A and B are shown apart, each in its own frame.
Chain A
Amino acid sequence: MPFKYFGKINFTPYTKVDKFAEYLQQGKLMGTQCKKCGEKYFPPRADCLKCMNDTYEWIEYSGKGILHSYTTIHAAPKGFEDIAPYTLGIVDLKEGGRLIAWIKDIPDKELKINMSVKVIPRIFEEIEEIKLYYTIEKP
């Protein structure tokens, strides 16, 4: 499962951490951990920011987290016009690290910064091509 299937539009089909997409298809949200100093990363990194070691292993994230901020995009860029307006959230993950994703089943008026949320791996089902992503949902 190449990395090019990650995202509604993928801009970077090649990366050292392309296994991320394969895990995502299996329903797993994975980050990386440096084999030398143990630092954990989400989004995953092949090369350790802290100690510059270049060996790592995959670790599974629970998807649990806290909503750090959100916005509703009305003016969408190319390739996203068909789904606008859409709401984006930033989540502080329980295991550390952050991600940005669409907020799925929480109405805007119920959104509150600091609320508990859960990140769920997803596949676009309404289009033929395989596209993997994740969404922010109620825990």
Chain B
Amino acid sequence: MKVGIVGIGHGKFGNRSDATVQELAFEPFKQAIEDAKNLRRDNIDALVVGSVPEYHMQRSLPGVVAEYIGMNPKSTWLTEAACASGSAAIRTAYMSIKSGMHDIVAVIGVQKMRELSTEEILALMGRVGDVQWESIFGTTFPGYYALYANRHMYEFGTTKEQLALVAVKNHYYGSMNPNAFFQKEVSKERILSSDDVAYPINVFDCCANADGAACVIMTNEKLAKKFNDTPVWFEGLGSASAQMSLLRRPNLVEIPSAVEAAKQAYSQAKVKPSEIQIADVHDCFTIAEIMAYENLGFCPKGKGGKFIEEKQSYIGGKTPVNVDGGLKAKGHPVGATGVSMTTEIVKQLRGEAGKRQVTGAEIGLTHNVGGIGQYTFVHILRR
């Protein structure tokens, strides 16, 4: 029996110092219920929360979210896989429906990145890698992707200009997304002249920490039509892991968990990379989107730079990617990101993406990476 999405909701991403975590979670949850047809809150069996707990003052997040949105006494739990927590939550919701344990499950990805002090954030940032052998030298998130970027440039001739072009594209589409943190276009020159963060990564090569929440409501094939005339179906769900330490990775030019998760998803969905009509990929840094093109098979290995240079990831190109602005323009509330990607693909497959619509899109893909590739989830969705 297939599993599909019958309701979606997406809150405003950005600086949300106006709301608590549970208040943020309420916004897309309410929208998702209203987006579905004839769905009442008490029809929902279970709530899965995707979030990274160490960013919040509130411990044990599902407790407070379930209470605030009115899901007690239904089952609820947290799923964590760093920046891929949202997609991990969707995967557990899928499993619970597929097994027959639950019929209708709400998934909320939610994160407040700005609750902690800058001091605490800087301390957290220093512990993103392997703390025994790497963090002791002051490694950082951008630093790790910079090590990937530099090696990619060395092996394939990828350029800083090509990295910048990813940001140009994502800010261009972000300017059309009312839920995005940044809704302004940014020029290549401005990106290239922005401050150094970790060579060859500049400030404008990085996505921004943001607060935000997104929600999808999932159910089985038997019930889906009751709640939506156009359910969007999960056709493939790939999931894989890779070494925590970069020192034990096979190479520094691809994310091995992404390659493996993509392989699984394509095989389950019985589609080829060239058949993907719209994709949302994990562009936490511009190099990450370039590697995603390659790891997902949208272009051959090493040709990611050329792919963006030829505008193949724009609407009208081979595979439109991140036409909602990506993490780059939307902002990256880590637990919410995978769910946010999913809502965008659902909108595209329903034909409801407005100015950003890829005409006639029927097959879409999400690619959500946790950490520096320790976890990747690749989901293929079909109308």
Contacts and interface: CB of A to CB of B under 8 A. Distances in A.
A100 B126 contact: no
A50 interface: no
B147 A43 contact: no
Contacts of B134: 100
Given A9-B136, A76-B140, A78-B123, A100 B247 contact: yes
B19 interface: no
Contacts, number: 112
Interface of A: 6-12, 15, 43, 68-80, 83-86, 88, 90, 97-102, 108, 113-114, 133
A113 B154 contact: yes
B246 A88 contact: no
B139 A100 contact: yes
Contacts of A102: 137
Nearest to B118: A78
Interface residues of B, number: 36
B305 interface: no
Interface in B195-210: 195-201
A76 B196 CA distance: 12
Interface string B120-136: 00110111000111111
Contact of B198 (A43, A74, A79): A74
A101 B137 contact: yes
Contacts of A43: 132-133, 245, 247
A71 B143 contact: yes
B126 A68 contact: no
Contacts of B135: 7, 9, 11, 77
Nearest to A75: B197
A77 B198 contact: no
B146 interface: yes
A68 B252 CA distance: 9
B79 interface: no
